[in-house]
Structure 1
């Protein structure tokens, strides 16, 4: 299959999944995770209809954004403080914020650029070797971010454990419930500017499990860019 054929299949599956659960396909953005491919593959992906891309290394984010400035570039990698200056202002959305010190640095860098940087808070799914805010610490993180003038939290992100679609489905459901709980709690506290409308969850192996649970962004790499990916 060509890249376009793979993407068209995924786009069709996303639309069908949305229809099956009473959602509009417009509610779900397919992010092409281009972290393992070069500029030629990105160009092919743009021609196929992909306009949101995810990168996990700051220098690659900068290189590809410079080459394709009209596309939307998402930063999905682990945050390293010393590299944030490469990410802030280049990424339309940072998916992996999970430390207050990073939020504060993003705020300072965005202030210098005269922008507000959109971010997602990454939530840990319970695996010890993964980063992310623990669910019982999320409210405090949201409150801290709400006080930063140049950081705007627009939602949550998580990564499910690979191997079990049932476990992935439970992880995605838990994130949606947590999001709804946080929304109610923030509203009761009168907190402004934290909307949490985005849920970034689901990857090549499990994105169809994420959509019925409310995903608004699915991060798909291998299923789009790999010739030998088998769904």
Structure 2
């Protein structure tokens, strides 16, 4: 029987023993088979190359990481310096603006102190002028007629007179004229009306007492209504 590499050969009984004297029950096997492993030189070389490659890769990654870290650190330092320079510039500019604002506030206070007496005097003159023109003024404003109201019995010769048709045929002249401080026809808007009452509003804002009393004339009863 040929030997196989890596295995111990099994020892058989001596050749002097006869087949008749061989007893199956008396047979005792030898030591168990043992596998003998061996690492060849090629395997050891491959393992060494893998270890070297792993070490080189780790070193290369470490170098790249260090270079990236140094580059980022340099960029962060430059950005920090740039931000500090900008912040210092903005701070100086805000200081200049604050100084100008203080000067403007001081100038405004001084100007107000100088013109305050003039404003009070102007208010007094304005109120005296309004009083000289007349404390009581009578204005008349006519609204446009609705379609179901028929024709108007009021005429507007000018801005200070109105002419009312009384409808009394017994009179030689059934139309009567009334002179007022101001007459506003149906075509006059709110802006023109406010221009005439604005002096009264200004006097009220200046602290003087004024009164605007309105009365609506009803066609059916000819009675006034506030």
Given the two structures, how large is their TM-score scaled by the length of structure 1? 0.20
The structure, 1 or 2, with the larger RCO (C-alpha pairs under 8 Å, 6+ apart) is 1
Bigger-Rg structure (1/2)? 2
Given the two structures, how large is their TM-score scaled by the length of structure 2? 0.20
Identify the structure with the greater strand proportion: 1
